[in-house]
Structure 1
């Protein structure tokens, strides 16, 4: 019975089809090159042309180096592989749909330059960071927004249920992973009740992220319950790097008045109902007030690009006068990152914080798989006297990724960066805190996938209570972690070669 379930599983079927196509393709090329010296020479020339194209292309250097070495190692087929699989960008069809919807979004933004000028009177350098997001990338800066920081998934989950019960008009959910269990069960119960009351309930989930955790008829189940549902970038049985572009965002938006985001997906390990890798440490944030509008637009941009609707964006706008009750505790700037715009926005925000830090930067990340730009920013901040601390998992979720993460420790430690491993378990948080005044909480890992391939989101906060709470949690988390030294990561010649290989292929995975 188990064998039958395995054989009928769409993941198994898709994998078999993919392997069959790749094997056939390689055998075809080998036979073709043996058949004709001219064809072999053409493929070799193509590889040379591809190498020259990569050299002049405006792209991440680590990604370029990895492909150049691969092509040189496979001179006959390497160029052809790059031609088929070398693009990191989503498919043309996806880009057209999202670009078209994004142009509509721009006209709905409410940008107040006076708020930017207010920050300029306090910190001109920091104003430049907010200006980069607002003027160059169309993410408004807000006041009149309360923020609540969560140091764990279980505390945020309680507030999610409370806010969901208050929904009157609409509920939007967008998650990378949804898994059946206590967390999803309690949320689903409320969603069904709200749908029966006439509330517009919509759900976006990533098809690959939830591939092993949801039944194949999940979408139909939701639609039958009155919940409109969309699987993002469905996994299909043909080899394509387009499948690499996943929706890694996590957000819950309710009536335009409250929004949740952070590292927390909808699965029981995120609220520590399931123990997989010790204690699951995560972070999140709730917004109430004007800043929620940006999350409403983020969701609708993704939804409207792929799901036909007659709605207008104005249909979901909350009454602005209601926001006056939310006192202005600092400044909030929600933002999203996309592989479509050729702008490494998530990485740029992180580098901005490192470049302007005066006293310290504390970082939570589950993975530390970084390019030279990020590595340089971390090292130069530490070398000029900034107390840079990074907290990574003490118990890994993926052993090979843990090895790759640790392979990046040595140059950072030598530059003065302090690295800690969270001994109680796995840290899934993606947070930065800088100089007691500015912080980021979001979905963006410090790895190639999050920084270059995925759709992501985050919140940049300045002088808010949530920044103060993030600082307290950072100190508490560091105290519960073990500091790593150079001696801890010493390895032999073979170990160094293996780590070098992992770092080389990391941009291609």
Structure 2
């Protein structure tokens, strides 16, 4: 079934030269080569004015350094800019100005802000849950308060069943079964989608559901069009009835927008069931293909009230990326999931690639600073800033058992 579905999406294979010319990497590479040639030419043509340029470079560097010190920017970003400007004062300052003044990114941030405000109107903590926390668990109440008062407003839920999958291999059968049961809509947002066994099985179901009249939407990071998917993959999905969008597609246009990637992994089915975690849609994540040895990533299945936040996260990014009007988001967020019996609490939350609010890092810092017994971390990407390093070492010095597992 998946092989037939995949073949249906494949167009007639173009010639070798046509493939090269149609490859999105070609115009992008030519664009950057032209940009580099322009910079080299500009530098060589100004050599006779070298002494004056050195003086102005020093003055420009000093002014820019003071400007950076007063910016509300994290220390790592400031340090990166300082190094660039110290080495290339004129080019670095121009690049900094272009980065801060990028109108494309500003417009997207404004759209994100508007969509976030709209989504937050449909997200709130149940009063009974808030009262229970205030009387029983002050630490959890403080964390819940922080998340609910963050820019995107992430409430805490109690009526949600949670299933933990230690491997992508365990998650896939459950996901396929839930997709088959979908009756109204399927929303999928993933950092990586790669053609293969996993995506073929999912795609076959999505095509079938789209033909049956369901609202099927797929969103992936635009870098996929440079790596795992063809540049026309969105149009190919449209042809089989699936709505599709790419976040930050790569084009031969100079913009800092390309620094922002969409790393989320979210599936929402009928607003009642959702999947999230570290598993992308590619064969290595379910060990159907060996890329770096046995792949270990985890996933969660939510069934109940907490799905509302994941639905809001998807619709917010879908609205920012596409041209959907506000009534589209209202239509889906006005409908709330059915409650399920559960004794635990769930707080779904997400960072946005278009804001400077480090919600996830603040949650990790809270957990590290309030830990009493142990903190065990397993991650494929251990990239720590100074704050996290200090929090981990401080926890260890307090007698907390801090352990980290990472790939070799």
Could you say what the CA RMSD is over the residues aligned between the two structures, in angstroms? Answer: 2.3
CA distance in structure 2 between the aligned counterparts of 1:74 and 1:314, rounded to whole angstroms:
48
* Cross-structure match for 1:283: 298
Give 1:340's match in structure 2, choosing from 348, 354, 378.
Answer: 354
- Partner SS for 1:332: coil
Q: Which string of whole-angstrom CA distances, capped at 9 and with x for unpartnered residues, describes residues 99-155 of structure 1?
A: 121121122223324313322333212321111001234001111100111111111
Q: What are the ranges of 5 or more consecutive residues in structure 1 without an aligned counterpart? A: 395-509
In structure 2, what is the equivalent of residue 469 of structure 1? Answer: none
Change (3 A) 1:200 1:48: same
Output the TM-score relative to the length of structure 2: 0.89
Q: Is the 1:90–1:339 contact (alpha carbons within 8 Å) kept by the matching residues of 2? A: no
* Partner of residue 45 from structure 2, selected from 31, 35, 41: 31
2:268 matched to 1:253? yes
| Distance apart, 1:86 and its partner CA | 6.5
Task: Give the drift of 1:3.
Answer: 7.1
- Matched residue SS, 2:223: coil
Residues 343-377 of structure 1, C-alpha deviation per residue, up to 9 Å, x if partnerless? Answer: 11111111111010000011111122211111111
Distance 1:328 1:3 in 2: 59
Q: Secondary structure at the match of 1:287?
A: strand
CA contact under 8 A between 1:257 and 1:318: conserved in structure 2?
no
Q: Secondary structure at the match of 1:323?
A: coil
Q: Which residue of 184, 189, 192 maps to 1:177?
A: 192
Higher strand share: 1
Matched, 1:165 2:180: yes
**Alpha carbons of 1:67 and 1:319: their partners in 2 closer, same or farther (altered >3 Å)?**
closer
Partner of 2:369: 355
Q: Does 1:390 align with 2:398?
A: no
Alignment of 1:67-466 (within 5 A): 67-85=81-99, 91-137=105-151, 138-310=153-325, 311-317=327-333, 320=336, 323-324=338-339, 326-394=340-408
Q: Which runs of 5+ in 2 are unaligned?
A: 1-14
- What is the alpha-carbon distance in structure 1 between the residues aligned to residue 232 and residue 115 of structure 2? 28
Distance 2:94 2:290 in 1: 45
Structure 1 residues 284 and 318: CA distance shift in structure 2, 3 A: farther
Taking the aligned partners of 1:4 and 1:340, their CA distance within structure 2 comes to 36
**Maintained 8 Å contact 1:87/1:241:** no
Contact 1:43 1:79 in 2 (8 A): no
3-state DSSP class of the match of 1:288? Answer: strand
* Alpha-carbon offset, residue 253 of structure 1: 0.3
Distance 1:33 1:92, change over 3 A: farther
Q: Is the 8 A contact 1:90 1:340 kept in 2?
A: no
Shift, 1:302, TM fit: 1.3
The Cα shift of 1:265 comes to 0.7
Q: Which deviates further from its counterpart, 288-297 or 71-80? A: 71-80
Distance in 2, Cα, partners of 1:89 & 1:351? 33
TM, length-normalised to structure 1: 0.72
Question: Equivalents in 2 of 1:90, 1:114: separation in Å?
Answer: 43
Whole-Å separation in 1 of the counterparts to 2:31 and 2:288: 36
